[in-house]
Structure 1
Amino acid sequence: MTNEDDKARVANIFDVARLAGVSHQTVSRVLNDLPNVRPATRERVEKAIKQLRYTPSQAARALVTRRSRTIGLITTGGPDFGPSSTALHFNDAARDARYAVSMASMLDSDPASLRAAVELLLRQNVEAIVLIAAHAGALEAILSIELGVPFIAVDAGGRPGVHSVALDQYAGARAAVDHLVGLGHREIRHISGPLDSTDATERLRGWRDSLAAAGLPAREHLVGDWTPASGYRHGLALAADRDMTAVFVGNDQMSLGLIHALSSAGLSVPADVSVIGFDDIPEAEHFAPPLTTIRQDFDGLGRDIMTELLAVLRDEDAADLPRILPSLVVRESAGPPRGRAADPIDSDTTPETASAPAAARQPLG
């Protein structure tokens, strides 16, 4: 079988959208010869269809013409704070827009389970589908399905041809590490979330880039699973690292376990080791000591999903919204290394930035 035969066999509407640089809804409009598609855009889509030798399914040809005022929401993974909060606020935003939400939640995100969830939602005549997934594989599985309805993903990585919204995980990580660098730390470790999570890999990338920008080494990071138990386990190992003076942790729950482990090993936070978390869960200000962390605006993210979705329903060429920029919340778990005053801070991590509104935005990069 030739490469062209293989393309023809596997090509779907998302492949066409990626090649043409448009959304899959725009491809659907071209397939149905509908208006409101610019001639140049239509030409690119038609060229991509021909190049991929794509044959559309009935689902791909179908645009949403019914008005059920119901949105399908698929969530995957455990009841972690971030995804759960995002789903809650999206439901609120949908209700404010006079839409109902039909949810399909699952721990696993295998392709068969996701396909079953999609088929269930489509049988309920949903006008669109939203994905809030803990694992990057869930998005890949959804993109292999011919939906025939608008689709929005919460995706920190961003994919060509797929409408997405996100909090800027990378910028949040950089703010955390820049703060530690500004305090005078030179050996800053990282406990990441699972590496099949786009949020975790974006935070890992931010940690590395901030250290590189400061001319500091990025030692081997430790991989957790978002739970306090994994933070505790890695904390016991880090307690033996006498060079380390600070840890940037992928979320607040792992920070809790880390602080427990450091205390068990006879180390004090922040006198011996500074700790910065991520998320700003409600309990973070009641840790011992209260946790310096990165606050994420899950309310704003939930509302952005609905704003983007309404724009897509009205205009198939709707542009994605800018990512929401998280903010640094300074508490008591991070301070200068023992015996050293804080260096002057000439980065973005100033007191003004630390108290900036969580809804501040920056353009997609």
Structure 2
Amino acid sequence: MVDVAREAGVAHVTVSRVLNGHPSVRPQTRERVVAAIERLGYRRNDLARSLKSGRSMAIGLVIAGSDLFELPRTLRGVEGAAQQSGYWVNMSSWQGGDADQLAATVDRLISQAAEGIAVIADRPLVAGALERMVTRVPMTVVTSGDLTNPAIGSVELDQELGARLATRHLLELGHRDIVHLTGHLAVFDARARVDGWRAEMREAGVTSPEMLEGDFTAASGYRLGLELARRRRRPTAVFAGNDQMAIGVLAAFAEEGVAVPGDVSLVGFDDMKGSEYLVPSLTTVRQDFVALGRTSIEVLVGMIGGARPRHHLIAPTLIVRRSAAPPR
């Protein structure tokens, strides 16, 4: 800044005021300072600023796991919210291990002056590691399922509500025989969707609905779809655990001559790219992953400002297309 001040013929404090948008600088003086900055290629020294102010305006981000669904959209939400709040993001990754290794990853970001830590997590990988974690800065976690550590904020998409929306849509169309093809039941999201489907069916007076376990792959949807198509008495509707499984069901039904939605209605989950171009276009549940990432940073920034940790659920949206209709 001393070099810029000398180049522009102004005092050092005037350069500081221009850089901070202070209204007391005359337009002509501001123009001279900006021109000097451009000629000299001046850039702020964020480290020096943080030492002076005691604020780094940095957030640490830990990517925990290698199989995180829709990670790019979640990261877009993280980055957008951080920029809007005046923070920059410093990222690291942790691919499993014990709690001490996760703590070391977090501490490395804190040592780089991160004011808070956000974790985007594969739940089986972090659930145990976070239970007793103590950090020197606020922390939020993007994952499925409540965390019991009261010092950590958390954000998740409401899987149970999404399953309720899908099931309710089929019930409102007049279906009662709705089979749920689940994801792998060792996965939290799959169990939460089962809970939502079962609760909605129970409230509609259907006490023993049928479910068949898959694993969230199109192959498992195809296998279970063939099983249903070859039954003498088929269900009138299928709620697939995700859109991949719904694709497999569509392929199996097409091979066996089962019309969708003429013979059996079908609803998926995720609103994956291209689901609107399936034949028929797929009714499904949309999850807002950009909002997921954005909310995690909003919660974290609030905690940096003194707010208490909290658990935040983001509601999904039912997207109605052509794969579901009233039963014949």
TM-score (norm. length: structure 1): 0.67
Alignment partner of 1:128 is 2:128: no
User: Which of the numbers 98, 103, 120 marks the counterpart of 1:111?
Assistant: 98
Alignment partner of 1:326 is 2:316: yes
Matched to 2:81, the amino acid is A
| Residue in structure 2 matched with residue 200 of structure 1 by the alignment | 190
Of structures 1 and 2, the larger Rg is shown by 2
Cα 1:124–1:247, aligned 2, differ >3 Å: closer, same or farther?
A: farther
User: Which of the numbers 157, 165, 174 marks the counterpart of 2:155?
Assistant: 165
Checking the alignment, whether the CA contact within 8 Å between 1:308 and 1:320 is kept in structure 2 is no
Q: CA deviation at 1:116?
A: 5.6
In the alignment, the residues of structure 2 paired with residue 260 and residue 307 of structure 1 have an alpha-carbon distance, to the nearest angstrom, of: 42
Checking the alignment, whether the CA contact within 8 Å between 2:219 and 2:248 is kept in structure 1 is yes
| Residue in structure 1 matched with residue 16 of structure 2 by the alignment | none
Q: CA deviation at 1:67?
A: 2.6
Cα 1:153–1:209, aligned 2, differ >3 Å: closer, same or farther?
A: same
Checking the alignment, whether the CA contact within 8 Å between 1:248 and 1:275 is kept in structure 2 is yes
Alignment partner of 1:266 is 2:257: yes
| Residue in structure 2 matched with residue 9 of structure 1 by the alignment | none
What is the SS of the residue equivalent to 1:164? strand
| Residue in structure 1 matched with residue 247 of structure 2 by the alignment | 256
Q: CA deviation at 1:77?
A: 3.9
Deviations 1:284-319 (A, max 9, x none): 111111110112222222221111011111114254
Q: CA deviation at 1:119?
A: 4.8
| Residue in structure 2 matched with residue 92 of structure 1 by the alignment | 80
Matches within 5 A, 1:166-315: 166-216=156-206, 217-224=208-215, 226-241=216-231, 242-315=233-306
| Residue in structure 2 matched with residue 76 of structure 1 by the alignment | 65
In the alignment, the residues of structure 2 paired with residue 117 and residue 194 of structure 1 have an alpha-carbon distance, to the nearest angstrom, of: 30
What is the SS of the residue equivalent to 1:191? strand
| Residue in structure 2 matched with residue 360 of structure 1 by the alignment | none
Deviations 1:64-108 (A, max 9, x none): x76351322324242523x442233212222332322233346x5
Cα 1:274–1:109, aligned 2, differ >3 Å: closer, same or farther?
A: farther
Q: CA deviation at 1:142?
A: 2.6
Matched to 1:294, the amino acid is V
In the alignment, the residues of structure 1 paired with residue 104 and residue 90 of structure 2 have an alpha-carbon distance, to the nearest angstrom, of: 14
Checking the alignment, whether the CA contact within 8 Å between 1:134 and 1:197 is kept in structure 2 is no
Cα 1:190–1:121, aligned 2, differ >3 Å: closer, same or farther?
A: farther
Cα 1:171–1:273, aligned 2, differ >3 Å: closer, same or farther?
A: same
Give the share of equivalent positions with the same residue, in percent: 39
Checking the alignment, whether the CA contact within 8 Å between 1:185 and 1:245 is kept in structure 2 is yes
Deviates more, 1:309-318 or 1:149-158: 149-158
Deviations 1:28-72 (A, max 9, x none): xxxxxxxxxxxxxxxxxxxxxxxxxxxxxxxxxxxxx76351322
Checking the alignment, whether the CA contact within 8 Å between 1:87 and 1:302 is kept in structure 2 is yes
CA-based RMSD: 2.5
Matched to 1:279, the amino acid is D
Instruction: Give ranges in structure 1 of 5+ residues lacking alignment.
Output: 1-64, 340-365
What is the SS of the residue equivalent to 1:166? strand
Give the aligned length: 270
Checking the alignment, whether the CA contact within 8 Å between 2:78 and 2:293 is kept in structure 1 is yes
Alignment partner of 1:101 is 2:89: yes
Checking the alignment, whether the CA contact within 8 Å between 1:156 and 1:202 is kept in structure 2 is no
TM-score (norm. length: structure 2): 0.73
What is the SS of the residue equivalent to 1:208? helix
In the alignment, the residues of structure 2 paired with residue 314 and residue 336 of structure 1 have an alpha-carbon distance, to the nearest angstrom, of: 51
| Residue in structure 1 matched with residue 4 of structure 2 by the alignment | none
Q: CA deviation at 1:276?
A: 0.8
